[in-house]
Amino acid sequence: MKREKFLELEYMTLRKEIENSKDRLFKIMVGGATIIPTAQYVVQLLKTEIDNIWAIKSLLPFLVIIMILLFLSENNSLMRCGWYIREHIEPQITPKIHGWENWLEQEMEPSIRLVDRFVITGFYLLSACYYVGTAVIAAHALCAQWNINIALCLVPYLVIALLIVRFLLKNVRVTTKGSKKG
């Protein structure tokens, strides 16, 4: 196989992967926005039929965490593909012309990715609200089960939230600019 054909196939495969990642990101966002409230509603409906409903309620915040991790994973996959195209394929195919990925990262137009920033920020804000809401519901369920103070029940969820925020601050990106690992 010739080098040019290989680069073309690699480029097309990565663009398809980016398209698939975008589709999965959308499904995660829409799914998360509906699954979390639906799960809480179903738990409320079943509270008279299940003896250990407190255990199920205590796990609801982890459903939010799973949604966040799925989103982060897909977003990082998308970033890696874009980074690879920008750094390894575009310079070989069009050395004197900036391709799509380079154009997206140009410094003279910071507003190019403004919508991406809003969508990602909105997703994490909604996820934070869902996490806080499910943590409060879970803490109330635990307190009712064990007859202890709500503040004590909230401590584990607060610690988990702080760890997640720390992780997200270190790992969330909107662009591939300046990335060595993608």
Domain range for 96: 3-171
Residue 180 belongs to a domain: no
97: pLDDT strictly greater than 80? no
Is 158 contained in some domain?
A: yes
Tokens of 69: 């991790």
Residue 178 lies in a domain: no
Percent of the chain whose pLDDT exceeds 90: 38
For range 137-165, the mean pLDDT? 89
**Residue 177 included in any domain:** no
C-alpha–C-alpha distance, residues 9 and 3, integer Å: 10
Q: What is the pLDDT of residues 114-131, one digit of tens each?
A: 788 888 888 889 999 999
Number of domains in the chain: 1
pTM equals 0.81
DSSP secondary structure letter of residue 180: S
| Residue 119 forms part of a structural domain | yes
Scan for tokens 């202890």, then name that residue: 148
Joined together, the tokens standing for residue 45 give 């409906």
Q: How much of the chain, in percent, has pLDDT values that exceed 70?
A: 90
pLDDT(95) > 60: yes
Torsion of CA 110, 111, 112, 115, to 10 degrees: 130
